[in-house]
Structures are given as C-alpha cells and as structure tokens.
Amino acid sequence: MTTYTAPIEEMMFLFDNLRDNKNYNQLEKYKEINSDLVKDILEQAAKINQEIILPLAKIGDESPCVYENGIVRSPPGYKEAYKKFIEDGWTSLSCDPKYGGQGVPKTVSTFFEEMLSSSSLAFKLYSELSIGAYNCILSHADDKIKEKFLPKIVEGKWSGTMCLTESQCGTDLGLLKTKAIKQKDGSYKISGQKIFITSGDHDLTENIIHLVLARTPDAPAGTKGISLFLVPKLIVNDDGSVGSRNGVNTGSIESKMGIKGSPTCVLNFDNSIGYMIGAENKGLNSMFTMMNLERIVVGIQGLGISETAYQNALAYAKERKQGKANNNKTNETDFIIKHADIRRSLMNMRSIIEGERGLAFWLSQQVDVSLNHSDEKIKKSAADIVSLMTPVIKSFFTDMGMEITNETIQIFGGYGYTKDQGIEQLFRDNRITPIYEGTNSVQAIDLVYRKILNSKILEEYISQIDEEIKNCKDNKDLDLFLERVLKYKEILINFTSWLKTKQSISKDDISSACNDYLKVLGYVSLSYSWLRMLRVSYEKMSTNKSFFEEKINTGKYYFDKILPRAESHYIAGITGSESTMKANFN
C-alpha cells in the first residue's frame, strides 16, 4: 500500500507568504481566516486523510463497487469512513453558512481537495460532485429550490451528480436527446439515458440529486436548446423529508481501468420528476458554473496523485540498493537515491509539483475574488483570469500527473509494475483525469479559440506577470530567473501572435498547435509561480534557512531543466499542419 503525509509545511508557506492578491484581501468575509485557524484545519484534514481515507484507496481497487439486485454497493469500509467524513463537517468546508456551511475560502479548501486526491481519488469522487452540484444550485436555482435541497447537500446526507453525457454525445452536447416535458404544476417529466455518471448511484447517502441536461419539446437544435433540471433519486416532500422513488434507475456500472471504488453509472430516466434550474434553453450556461470549477478540481486531482507518487518514489529511492553511484569509492552497493538519473527524476517531480501547488493557490485567490468581491468590475476581471487558467490547470496538471506517475513506476522498476506496492494504481487512477470533464485536447482547443483568439484575457494575465517582474527587479539574486521569465514570456507572446495570423489563413494550423500552445502557457505559468515563491524565499531566508535554501534550489532546477521544454513546444507548434493533414490513413 502507498504511504502519504500531507505537505502541511508547503501549504502553510503559501498561505502565510503568498496570499498577496489585494482584491482577495479586501474580502471582509475572510478577514478572520488566519494562519492559526488554517493550520488547525490542515492538521485535522491530514489526520482523517492519512488515517482513514488513505487505506480506502487499496480497498476500493481490490474490492470495487458492485451492482446487484438494482443496488450499487460501495467497497468495504466506505460507509463508515463517509459517516465520519460528514460528521466532521468536511463536505461543508467551503459552503455558505446560510445553508449550514463553514464558509472557508477556496485558498484553504483547495489544499483539502489536494489531500483528498492524494489519499483516495475514488473516495473523493462521492463528495466532489456534490460540491459541484451545490455551486450550480446556489448560483442558478430559485430560493425555494435552494432552501429545499442545499442544506442536506452541504451536510453530506445527500450527494449530487452532473448528468451530461449520452451514448451519442460526449464533447458535442448539442447532440443530446434526453427530453423534458412540462407538467401543469410547473415540474417536468425527464426521459432519456445518461452514461459515465460519476457516483450516479451508491449506498453512502440517503438521496442523490442529479443535475440533468435535457431538451424541452420546442427547443432549438444544438447547444442553444439545452435546459438544466434538478432530478432527485427519491422525491423530496414539501417538508424536506424523503419520499418515494423517482423514475431514476441504474442500468449498469462500468468496469474501469482505475478509480474502481467510485461507481461510474448508466442512468435511465423514465418520466422522472425534475425541476428546471435557471432559464429555459440556457442550461449549458448554468452547468458551466459546475463544470468550470470542477475542471479546476480535476487539475488538483492530478496534483494530489502526483504528490503521493513523488513521496513514495522518494521513500523507495532511499531504501533500494542497486549498483554504484559515480562518486562511489567503496565496493558497497549504493541506495538508488545517490544515482544522478534517479535524482533527476525526483527533482522533475518535485519542481513541477511545488510549482503547480503555488499556481493553484494563486488561482484560488482569483476564484474567491470572482465569487465574492463587491466591485463587479474587479469580480469580472478575476473571473476572466479564472476562465483563462481553467483549461491550463485541468490539462497541464493532469498531463504532468501522467508523467509523474509513469516516472514513479520507472523508479520502482518491476515492483512498480506489480500490484503489491500500489504504485501502478496511482497511474491507473490518474489516467481518467486527462479524459473526464472535457478531454485535455478539448481543453486546449477551448483555450485557444475562446480565450486567446477571441478575447484579451491573456494581456491581463501577462500584465500580472509584468507586475511580479517589477517586484523582483531590486533583488539581484533573482536576475537569472527574471531573464528566463522574460525570454519565455516573449515566446508565449510570439506563439499567440502566430495563432492570430493564422485565423484567416489556416484553421488546421491553429488546431494542430493547440496542445503545444497550452503546454507553453502551462510551463510559463509555472515559471511565474516559481518566481513569486523564489522572491519570498530570498526575502525570508533568515527565518528558516534550510527550508528556503531547498526551495531556491528546486526553483532553480525548474528554470534550468523543465522550463526549456516550452521552447520545443513553440518550435513544434509553429511548423503548421501540412504534414498532419496530408497524411493518408486509408
């Protein structure tokens, strides 16, 4: 079984030193969220994750969910763990106190999301979609719906799902066929089938609240004719109590490569009673509230699994003996941690993980501002930055998760390939993250066509990088890093200009370059994250010399060894699509 220790010191470093968004610091509702409180939350979070949730990862993989006699049963130990999980209030952490939540900001709850992902992604998925459903209902439902459904979701007694995909449509939701017929009482009868529904049915909660995309009879074709409906598994009476079974049934659960402790369901809606959320034919807009925040959380999944992989690779490298290192002056076999190539692998992991965590923390401040600031202009500006970075966090973090879990298997060698150590499970569990919530290629296309070619959001982001460069100019220790940031920022700008020149010439050139462009933005974004951390590390050196010296060395490694990858993606991207489109696949 894998081991895991929550990186609380790393998280507190960010919270104490890089909570520097002035708009975030204007949010009155978070004034009382201080360092002592956050450390206490993280320590309690570490305890439940390390002691109770981590063992569930192996259990869920070896004894997956089963579907029998119309009932989906969770793996052994999941019910007891979930009961403890909701009793301790973890589902309510970031929710509005009006509905029973604790009102903790994203700057804190993001750390908890990472810990959960590190411990057991399969277990995490039972509550994760519930928070997504909560956010969607909170933003778009009327007060009656909110008061009826949100308190139980916040409490964790009811869970939530998002039901988009059908057999004929995944990415292209304009093809969906599920129907919604209005009734005299204002409710709707929903009929259709949804597939790949995470936590679509299970035995952990007394009710499941499905958010379902469907069409009304006279709806326009395509995505312009999609509405959103709340469909409970069990009817909820006017007094809030649970009544009879709604017309929602599980057809089957998928047999999967990973996250086996989480049921991925085929759901059949047969004249199910549902309630419209938001305006008719505007359902996709409402669902994006859930999907966009969920995509960031998926990126955090990649980060969390990467952290566990790194910790186990490091521990194994310290205890496994093989061969002699180059500086070996004895006849004794060395621990593999002494071999330069193993150290390279470990530093690749560490420098990427710490950069990602810093970037996620920076973005969490933007999310909090976008949701809570009183100034609409500031709110929109933050929302734009979140919109720009969402596909980057989702795709880049999960792709890096595949690289890191793959590299961890390599460090373990044959033992990584077998099931005994649990390392191959990290690779399998992470493999879904580049796929669900919009595949990474779709995210890259969305980034380029919607965020880069048709808006000026990138200019706002680059202005924030420029502001950080100004903050660093007086520190000579940062000169080399500043030089690198400026170089790769220029590459990003040149790549962006190249894309824009191709708009009227060749869309195939643009499409073939989207993945490379996202990677360039990802690596440059991590360099921005590292520059911020390095500035603080030099400023705070005297307070914790060993910690900050290691932080600086890791940052230097990122700039020396990882950031140069961006240039190769730029060079590949601007070669265009001629050979790609000319290929004969007959």
CA 545 to chain centre: 32
Evaluate whether 279 touches 175 at the Cβ level (below 8 Å): no
Span 486-511, average pLDDT: 96
Q: Which of 135, 174, 167, 134 is nearest to 153 (CA)?
A: 134
Of residues 353, 349, 307, the one with CA closest to residue 533: 353
Buried-state track 440-475, b at ≥16 Cβ within 10 A, e below 16: bebbbbbbbbebbeeeebbeebbeebeebbeebeee
- Higher-confidence residue: 464 or 331? 464
Q: Output the pLDDT for position 265.
A: 97
pLDDT band of residue 263 (cuts 50, 70, 90) is: very high
Nearest residue to 346 (alpha-carbon basis) of 301, 392, 389, 315: 315
* Lowest mean per-residue pLDDT among 231-245, 327-341, 449-463, 493-507: 327-341
pLDDT(327) > 80: no
Asked if 41 and 108 count as a contact pair (C-beta separation under 8 A), the reply is: yes
The reported pLDDT for the residue numbered 286 is 84
Determine the average pLDDT of the residues in 558-582. Answer: 97
Task: Answer yes or no: are the C-beta atoms of 208 and 158 closer than 8 Å.
Answer: yes
Task: Give the pLDDT band (50/70/90) at residue 332.
Answer: confident
pLDDT for 174: 83
Instruction: Between 196 and 285, name the one with better pLDDT.
Output: 196
CB 152, CB 86: distance < 8 Å: no
Q: Point out the least confidently predicted range of 42-56, 314-328, 362-376.
A: 314-328
Residue 322 CA to its chain's centroid (Å): 37
- Per-residue pLDDT of 390-422, as tens digits, reads 999 999 999 999 999 999 999 999 999 999 899
Contacts of 126 (CB under 8 A, 6+ apart): 74, 78, 82, 159, 199, 202, 204, 205, 262
What would the pLDDT profile of 62-72 be if each residue is shown by its tens digit? 999 999 988 99
Instruction: Please pick, among 437, 467, 490, 567, the residue that the annotation labels catalytic.
Output: 437
Predicted confidence band of residue 291 (pLDDT cuts 50, 70, 90): confident
Q: Sorting pLDDT into bands at 50, 70 and 90, what band is 323?
A: confident
3-state SS assignment for residue 438:
coil
> What is the tens place of the pLDDT at every residue in 128-139?
999 999 999 999
- Given a cut of 80, is residue 534 above it in pLDDT? yes
**Known catalytic membership, residue 155:** no
Q: What is the mean pLDDT of residues 356-381?
A: 96
The pTM of this model reads 0.96
* Mean pLDDT, range 576-583, rounded to an integer: 95
Alpha-carbon span 318 to 364, nearest angstrom? 34
Q: Angle at the Cα of 89 (from 10 to 97), degrees rounded to 5? A: 100
Kindly indicate the confidence band of residue 84, based on its pLDDT and cuts at 50, 70 and 90.
very high
- How high is the mean pLDDT of the chain? 95
Instruction: Please list, residue by residue across 295-325, b when 16 or more beta carbons sit within 10 angstroms of its beta carbon and e when fewer do.
Output: bbbbbbbbbbbbbbbbbbbbebbeebeeeeb
Report percent pLDDT > 70 for the chain.
100
For residue 335, what pLDDT is reported?
92
Does residue 245 carry a pLDDT above 80? yes
Q: What pLDDT, on a 0 to 100 scale, did the predictor assign at position 331?
A: 79
| pLDDT for the residue numbered 469 | 96
